[in-house]
Amino acid sequence: MVISMKKFIVFLCMFFFPLNVLAYSKEVVLGGQTIGIDIETEGVMIIGFYQVDGKYHRSDLVEGDIITKVEDTKIETIEDLSKALEENLGAESIQITYLHDNQEKTTELELYLEDGVYKTGLYVKDGIIGIGTLTFIDVLGEENTYGALGHEVIESNTSKIVEVRTGSIFENEITSIDESKDGSPGSKNAKFNYDHVYGDIDKNTKFGIYGTYTDEVDESNLIPVADSSEVKVGAATIYTVLEDQKVEEFEIEITKINENSEIKNISFEITDPELLEATGGVVQGMSGSPIVQDGKLIGAVTHVVTDNVATGYGLFITTMLEESEK
Q: Which position among 59, 180, 287, 324 bears the catalytic label?
A: 287
Q: How many CB atoms lie within 10 A of CB 295?
A: 8
Backbone angles phi, psi at 262, to 5 degrees: -75, -35
Q: Could you tell me if 143 and 212 are in contact, meaning their C-beta atoms sit under 8 angstroms apart?
A: yes
Catalytic site residue 115?
no
Measured between alpha carbons, how far is 89 from 305 in angstroms, rounded to an integer? 50
Question: 244: exposed, middle or buried (C-beta count within 10 Å: 0-12, 13-18, 19+)?
Answer: exposed
Parallel/antiparallel/unpaired status of strands 234-241 and 290-293: antiparallel
138: closest CA among 203, 223, 237? 223
C-alpha 62, offset from chain centre: 23
Q: How many CB atoms lie within 10 A of CB 313?
A: 22
**What single DSSP character describes residue 79?**
H
| End-to-end CA gap in the chain | 44
Backbone angles phi, psi at 229, to 5 degrees: -70, -15
Catalytic site residue 272?
yes
Backbone angles phi, psi at 306, to 5 degrees: -65, -30
226: closest CA among 290, 289, 270? 290
Q: Could you tell me if 266 and 299 are in contact, meaning their C-beta atoms sit under 8 angstroms apart?
A: yes
Residue 94, SS3? strand
188: closest CA among 270, 248, 131? 131
Mind telling me the catalytic residues? Answer: 151, 272, 287
